[in-house]
Amino acid sequence: MKNKYDVIIVGNGVAGLFAALHLPNDKDIAIITKGDMEECDSYLAQGGICVLKNEDDYAAFFEDTMRAGHYENDRDAVELMIRSSQDIIRELVDYGVEFERKQGEFTYTKEGAHTASRILHHEDLTGKEITSKLLAHVKERKNISLFEHVTMVDILERDNVCYGIMVSENPETGKLQENISKTKNVDVGESEYIVQEKVSRIYSDYVIWACGGVGGLYKHSTNYRHLTGDTVAISVKHNIELKDISYVQIHPTTLYAKTSGRRFLISESVRGEGAVLLDKDGNRFVDELLPRDRLTEKIREQMAKEGTDHVRLSVTHMGAEEIKKRFPNIYKTCMEQGYDITKEPIPVVPAQHYFMGGVKVDLDGHTSMNRLYAAGETACNGVHGANRLASNSLLESLVWAKRGAEDIAEHYECADHSWCEEYFEDEKSEGYIPDKSYEDVKDEYFYLAREKVRPGFTG
Ligand SMILES: Cc1cc2nc3c(=O)[nH]c(=O)nc-3n(C[C@H](O)[C@H](O)[C@H](O)COP(=O)(O)OP(=O)(O)OC[C@H]3O[C@@H](n4cnc5c(N)ncnc54)[C@H](O)[C@@H]3O)c2cc1C
């Protein structure tokens, strides 16, 4: 990496990539990611992305989002997200994203807490379809450089202005953590983290945080293990405003496994297509389309009543052919784990899934620190309130990534970095990372993140 870019984007999920595509072509942009290019939650999104189908659905879409969020949502943010959705989908289609269609027209699906079908999908691999197409376009842009296995460990701040970031490079970050949990069944709970090596300062005029969620801090989560809420820890250190950080969504249905590590999600759209939850005697015990937090509660109650550590989900009513066509990825993964979903119910259990809170941003993605923006799951604009409505997060990530990038483009001002080397060199003794061994800093960050991110609200 060079030691100066115009804009640094931390994270290469949909938020990071879409932001990069909306920055001017004449800006020198770096995107860094802790893991491999394809190791981010955006690739994992199965169910789909919400869109305002037509004006008739506006009031219901708004109300469904608010009700799921326990009316703690920011109304302006919700309106902005819904009103921006058609443009976002048009753009995605222009980037080559393919959504399911019948006779040329979009087909819409439904998930829990939606009163209407308004979700576009690509099989059960919507996130991969969107993210891989965006990544392909990013790779074509000569002004954007992508760096894998580079971790932001701090920002370069003076007087509440962000002048760049500190990074450490390690080819094993992300990948190793995933592999351990997958193949060796070693517990990679909250205490595991890979020690980084070389730490360097990278300056920029603007930084965009697009660092995803906090699942890596939890023992059982659907998220990639390297998503550890780093922006929360850095915000605590630099007094950047946070919002709703105890609002953590637990997904009611992930594939049960005795080992820990990343949990495989059984998408809400499976329940949207009529799958039923069964108790240990095979009886249906709940309305499967309750909002995620309420359904999680009901499943936990049921498990406590039965003294079990999972319940079961059956989708057999759909028929083998339809299941394989509609949910090929879920079918294949369950089969690999020894469950044929066309023939039998599968064991499911709630797990950490989504972070509603995060770094506080306004409607244009500004954080409370100058020259620092945030978008996607790492940011909190209040759109989800206390609980996210299914399939609103890809949309929200794209809307705010675009708005942040456009805001930077519109108000672009170069920062003066002439004093930085000397200043940040001197600041070492004040606690910048090179001053400490990385091990110490790591523990401190984890302490901060763990202290600040609590699953106090289960969905
Ligand atoms: C299994 C699963 C299914 C989902 N299904 C849906 C769905 O159907 N519809 C929907 O709308 N949403 C869904 N979601 C949620 C949605 O996928 C995410 O909220 C969204 O993709 C977040 O995008 P992002 O760009 O903010 O973050 P991510 O895609 O998670 O990307 C974060 C990036 O930041 C990088 N990063 C983090 N910290 C650092 C650091 N310190 N230094 C450098 N890089 C860093 C990571 O390496 C990663 O590249 C699902 C989530 C999961 C886990």
Q: Answer positive or negative: Cα dihedral of 245, 370, 438, 40.
A: positive
Pocket test for ligand 1, best of 22, 34, 41, 445 (most atoms within 8 A of CB): 41
Tallying the residues shown for the chain, one arrives at 459
Strands, E assignment, 287-426: 311-314, 346-355, 358-360, 372-374, 379-380
Whose C-alpha lies nearest to ligand 1, atom 37?
211
Query: Do residues 88 and 68 both lie within one domain?
Result: yes
Query: Do residues 264 and 322 both lie within one domain?
Result: yes
What is the rounded CA–CA span in Å between residue 364 and residue 301?
41
The set of residues, in sequence order, having a beta carbon less than 8 Å from that of 86 and lying 6+ positions away, is 51, 52
Which of these is catalytic: 292, 371, 388, 403? 292
Query: Do residues 56 and 158 both lie within one domain?
Result: yes
CATH code of residue 310? 3.90.700.10
Query: Do residues 47 and 62 both lie within one domain?
Result: yes
Buried b / exposed e along 117-147 (16+ C-beta atoms within 10 A): ebbbbbbbbbbbbbbbbbbebbeeeeebebb
pLDDT, position 430? 39
Whose C-alpha lies nearest to ligand 1, atom 35?
11
pLDDT, averaged in runs of 10, over the chain (459 residues): 96 98 98 94 94 97 95 97 98 98 94 92 94 98 96 92 91 49 35 53 97 86 90 89 89 86 86 94 94 88 94 95 93 94 94 93 98 98 94 97 98 97 68 44 59 47
Ligand 1 close to Cβ of residue 377 (< 6 A): yes
What one-character DSSP code corresponds to residue 286? S
Query: Do residues 198 and 286 both lie within one domain?
Result: no
Please report the atom of ligand 1 found closest to the CA of residue 126.
8
Query: Do residues 90 and 216 both lie within one domain?
Result: yes
Q: Is 141 a catalytic residue?
A: no
CA 111 vs CA 50, 147, 276, 287: distances in Å: 10, 36, 13, 12
Q: How far is the CA of 378 from the centre of ligand 1 (A)?
A: 9
Q: What amino acid is encoded at 328 in this protein?
A: P
Whose C-alpha lies nearest to ligand 1, atom 44?
33
Query: Do residues 398 and 268 both lie within one domain?
Result: no
What one-character DSSP code corresponds to residue 370? B
Query: Do residues 227 and 362 both lie within one domain?
Result: yes
Domain endpoint, select from 334, 350, 366: 350
Domain endpoint, select from 293, 318, 350: 350
Nearest Cα residue to 33 out of 17, 55, 53:
17
Query: Do residues 52 and 116 both lie within one domain?
Result: yes
Query: Do residues 395 and 450 both lie within one domain?
Result: yes
Ligand 1 close to Cβ of residue 178 (< 6 A): no
Domain count, the chain: 2
Ligand 1 close to Cβ of residue 221 (< 6 A): no
pLDDT, position 439? 52
pLDDT, position 440? 54
What is the rounded CA–CA span in Å between residue 283 and residue 263?
25
What is the rounded CA–CA span in Å between residue 363 and residue 358?
14
What is the rounded CA–CA span in Å between residue 353 and residue 382?
18
Domain limits at 374? 4-249+353-458
Domain endpoint, select from 350, 367, 395: 350
Query: Do residues 269 and 147 both lie within one domain?
Result: no
CATH code of residue 363? 3.50.50.60
Whose C-alpha lies nearest to ligand 1, atom 33?
11
Query: Both tokens of residue 432?
Result: 């910048």
